Chain A
């Protein structure tokens, strides 16, 4: 139990640090959203499950919280990306294709 919990917490911490690194490194709003969503979903998810394995009395509550995070974080980041695309925040220079824009019928 203890070893599983520690392994899960280390996975979560590494994903959180990678997400923080991506927030600095990425050139674009959409890329930054992608990295930060990975940090919140996988990082927070595995950290919370790991805490539940470390203290087995909390396991059911932590599983409920983790499923809640797993449902909310991708939906909110998807909606943020959609709203910023409609608002007209520009993509970075290296972007080659923008399928969402061509699908909605606009030019450029």
Chain B
């Protein structure tokens, strides 16, 4: 590496670290809303969407609530007063029909950013350790397997994209969709002898997706005064264009995780093929 590149790179990194430090230091001295939950968009705590869905669906909580009444929650305030209908209710705090998604992406969005970073660092370590090792050659797959994997790959890609585009409606989301896409690339790597995985393109796609994630968070910071806040209007529950920022972030996470995992598997396989 040239010296000027090194100096400019370290200068950019230093400025980023200083900016983040100022941000955190400023956040330390903000008042803490005196014991209440921090409001994202001036919501009433009765209308919290995740509570409604948790009570409605999982393990028959609503029946339990109807039979036991007040003893289920000591606080009577938390019991939902308004009914939610699929496809009609509008303008809730989240707007996503899948409660896991609304918790993972919106209430704990910063945590998700940390998880994606952990995955990125572990893939870097794996490729650095095992990337260049030379091993035995793989056995040639038969004609049926070669043709079949070429036919099957678009189906698997379609399934992964479906999972992470419908992440706010049906079970699934960014991480499962990315894992399914990576398993499709694994099928191509094992089944087709002539297939070469383009590592530089996947690295570019992966870093662009990470940059998009952080910039969506920064737009939320400037628009709503909180990092990764939901700044797009949340539509009707159950439609594809609902949930605001949640769908965008899950698409970005799906692309990023798929690129990362398939890069890791492809680097391992390439180390085998050098012989």
Contact = CB atoms under 8 A, between A and B. Distances in A.
A71 B142 contact: no
Interface in A58-73: 64, 67-68, 71-72
Contacts of A72: 148, 152
Contacts of B148: 71-72, 75
A75 B141 CA distance: 12
B142 A68 contact: no
A78 B155 contact: no
A78 B111 CA distance: 44
A85 to B, nearest CB: 11
A82 B155 contact: no
A79 B152 contact: no
A75 B145 contact: yes
Interface in B134-161: 141-142, 144-145, 148-149, 151-152, 155
Contacts of A71: 148, 151-152, 155
Contacts of A78: 142, 144-145
Contacts of B141: 79
Contacts of A75: 144-145, 148-149, 152
A79 B151 CA distance: 16
B189 to A, nearest CB: 15
A98 B102 CA distance: 59
Contacts of B149: 75
A68 B155 contact: yes
A79 B155 contact: no
Interface string A77-91: 011001000000000
Interface string B35-51: 00000000000000000
Interface in A13-68: 64, 67-68
A68 B155 CA distance: 7
A97 B78 CA distance: 74
B139 to A, nearest CB: 8
A62 B152 CA distance: 17
Nearest to B156: A68
Nearest to B147: A75
Nearest to A68: B155
Contacts of A68: 152, 155
A80 B204 CA distance: 37
A64, A71, A75, A82, most chain B CB atoms within 10 A: A75
Interface of A: 64, 67-68, 71-72, 75, 78-79, 82
23 contacts: A64-B155, A67-B155, A68-B152, A68-B155, A71-B148, A71-B151, A71-B152, A71-B155, A72-B148, A72-B152, A75-B144, A75-B145, A75-B148, A75-B149, A75-B152, A78-B142, A78-B144, A78-B145, A79-B141, A79-B142, A79-B144, A79-B145, A82-B142
The 10 closest A-B pairs by CB, nearest first: A75-B148, A78-B144, A68-B155, A71-B152, A79-B145, A71-B151, A82-B142, A75-B144, A75-B145, A71-B148
